Each structure stands twice: as structure tokens, then as C-alpha cells.
Chains A and B, each alone.
Chain A
Amino acid sequence: KAGVTQTPRYLIKTRGQQVTLSCSPISGHRSVSWYQQTPGQGLQFLFEYFSETQRNKGNFPGRFSGRQFSNSRSEMNVSTLELGDSALYLCASSLASGAFANEQFFGPGTRLTVL
């Protein structure tokens, strides 16, 4: 069974640009959560999608958005990039949402560098 895949693995952008990251969950998983990981702040929850609907949202500005497709694949978009957006962006999938969030499986992440 293939794990969670994220593309691209590495990305370099400049300030002001926008970026789209992709996540393909484990087959059969319908929930996809996104996290930002930085050395200073650690792992911070961005949002969760389940059945194409955003179910939960962290405390990030509106520049961070996401969506989920009918095949459960998810994309995350960051507009007007800032230097502070440089981070490892992790996606995690699980069978269901809510109480089963602990059954999350993480992908390897996308390393975004903003210059």
C-alpha cells in the first residue's frame, strides 16, 4: 500500500510569488491535514479537509488556503509569499476525521524556501 505522497519535495520561490503544494493520501483515506514545520515554531496545524470540505482550521492568515478533490487528493496554496513562509509543509492522511485524527500518516513533506 503506497504511503502519503507529496509533490514537489523541494521548492524555491521569491517573495510575493504564490505556490501550490500537492498531497495524495493513502488509498481509501478521506481526511487530509496540512501542517507547517519550522525550527522556531515546531509543527503547527494549518487545516483539515474531509470529503472536499474544510473541517478545521488553524491560526494562519488567509494567504494560506487549500482544497480537496473528489479523489481525496489535496492542494495547499500560499499567496504573496513572505520570507517567514519558508518551512517544511507536511501533509497527513487518515481514514476519517475528528476523533480518529490520531490515526494520521504523514508524508515526507515539501521543503519550501522563500528568497
Chain B
Amino acid sequence: GQQLNQSPQSMFIQEGEDVSMNCTSSSIFNTWLWYKQDPGEGPVLLIALYKAGELTSNGRLTAQFGITRKDSFLNISASIPSDVGIYFCAGQFLSGSNYKLTFGKGTLLTVNP
């Protein structure tokens, strides 16, 4: 089945620093999604990407859909303490009735104030 490799597994940064994380796949996806999960909560959608090469921003967050359709990255600029959490990438491939979301294993972000 499709698998996503998300890296890094964890990051420890200082407030104000920029952050970058990425996901790669052995298969192509039609859609790439980035979620954030806070403790005790479900994931919340941050950014959705629908076309190869697409670059989309949401405030301090920027994500790109790789040209090969097999990778995506998420950047967070000028990090703040509330950015702490687990960030997940997810890919969706549409083929007939098969449209399951495949998730990466997450990047745990810690921001030191």
C-alpha cells in the first residue's frame, strides 16, 4: 500500500525561528494535506494542495505540492509557542472508489520561548 515518510520526527526550536518539515511518498497523490494536532484533540486541517507545483500560504504557514506529486513540504515562519503540536501530512489518491487518506507519522514540534 501507499506509505508516507515524514521528517523530521521531532524538532526543538527557539521562538522566532523558521521551521521546515516534509513528506515523501513512493506513489503519487492527487491531493496533499497538512494537519496540526494539539494534545487531547483531533487533527485540524491547515493547508490543502490540489495541483503539482502549487504553493499555498495560510498566515505564517506555507506548503508546496511537489512537481513529481510524490512529496510536499510545510514551512512555518517566525514560530511562536502556540505552534507546539504534532504536524501531519496526508496524501489522497483518487482512483475510482479508492480515495483513502494516507497519513505520515507526524512531526512533533516544540518551541522554546
Give chain A's interface residues, CB within 8 Å of chain B.
Answer: 4, 33, 35, 41-45, 48, 55-56, 58-59, 90, 92, 97-99, 101-102, 104-109
Contacts and interface: CB of A to CB of B under 8 A. Distances in A.
Contact of A101 (B43, B88, B99, B104): B99
A55 to B, nearest CB: 7
Interface in B49-63: none
Interface stretch (B14-22, B69-77, B90-98): B90-98
A67 to B, nearest CB: 19
B1 A108 contact: no
A108 B41 contact: yes
How many interface residues does chain B have, given as a range? 20 to 34
A101 B101 contact: yes
25 contacts: A4-B42, A35-B103, A42-B103, A42-B104, A43-B88, A43-B103, A56-B97, A56-B99, A59-B1, A90-B43, A92-B42, A98-B99, A99-B94, A101-B92, A101-B99, A102-B31, A102-B33, A102-B45, A102-B48, A104-B45, A105-B45, A106-B41, A106-B42, A108-B42, A109-B42
Given A45-B102, A99-B94, A106-B41, 18 more contacts: A33-B101, A41-B105, A43-B43, A43-B88, A44-B103, A48-B100, A55-B97, A56-B97, A56-B98, A56-B100, A98-B97, A98-B99, A99-B99, A101-B92, A102-B33, A104-B101, A106-B43, A108-B42
Contacts of B106: 42
7 pairs of A and B residues whose beta carbons are closest in the complex = A106-B42, A43-B103, A42-B105, A45-B100, A106-B43, A98-B99, A102-B48
A31 to B, nearest CB: 11
Contacts of B48: 102
| From A41, A58, A98, residue with most partner B Cβ within 10 Å | A98
A10 to B, nearest CB: 10
Nearest to A48: B100
